[in-house]
Amino acid sequence: MIQLFMKRSGSPVIVPLNLPASHDAMTEAASQLDEASRAGKTEIVEIKSVIANLPSYLSGLDPGSRTQLAQLNQLSSIIAKMDSRERNIYAGALDGNSINDLNDMIRVAEQVSDYILIPNVNSDVTLGRYVAVAGQIQGDPRFPEAAWPYLDFAKIGAEYYAEHGGAYTYAGYVLRKQDDELVREKKSKIQLDLSSSQAQVSVCLPATKEELERVKRTLGIDCFAEAAVTKVSFSVPYMDEHIPTTGVCVEDANELAWAIEGMQCEDGELLKYLSVLSVEQPGTMQEALRCAMNLDDYERIPEDTYEYGQAVLRRIGADDELIDTIDGYMDFEKLGEDTMAEEGVRRTEFGLIRRCSSPFAEEPQAMEMGGLS
Alpha-helical (H) ranges within 45-193 are: 54-57, 66-80, 84-95, 102-110, 124-137, 153-164, 180-186
Count the domains in the chain: 4
Task: Between 264 and 72, name the one with better pLDDT.
Answer: 72
- Would 233 be classed as within a structural domain? yes
Same domain, 275 and 312: no
Q: Please state the φ and ψ torsions of residue 101, each to the nearest 5 degrees.
A: -160, -175
- Would 363 be classed as within a structural domain? no
User: Among 152-166, 190-204, 249-263, 308-322, which is the least confidently predicted range?
Assistant: 308-322
- Would 286 be classed as within a structural domain? yes
Same domain, 198 and 289: yes
Query: Domain holding 154: CATH number?
Result: 1.10.10
Looking at the DSSP bridge assignments, the partners of residue 173 are: 118, 168
Q: What is the pLDDT of residue 296?
A: 93
Q: What is the pLDDT of residue 230?
A: 92
- Would 243 be classed as within a structural domain? yes
- Would 360 be classed as within a structural domain? no
Q: Please state the φ and ψ torsions of residue 310, each to the nearest 5 degrees.
A: -65, -40
Same domain, 73 and 143: no
Task: Between 343 and 71, name the one with better pLDDT.
Answer: 71
Q: Crossing angle for the helix pair 250-263 and 285-293, nearest 10 degrees? A: 40
For 170, the domain range is: 115-183
Alpha carbon 217 to chain centroid, angstroms: 34
- Hey, is 150 helix, strand or coil? helix
Task: Give the residue from 148, 183, 218 where a domain finishes.
Answer: 183
pLDDT bucket at 42, cuts 50 / 70 / 90: confident
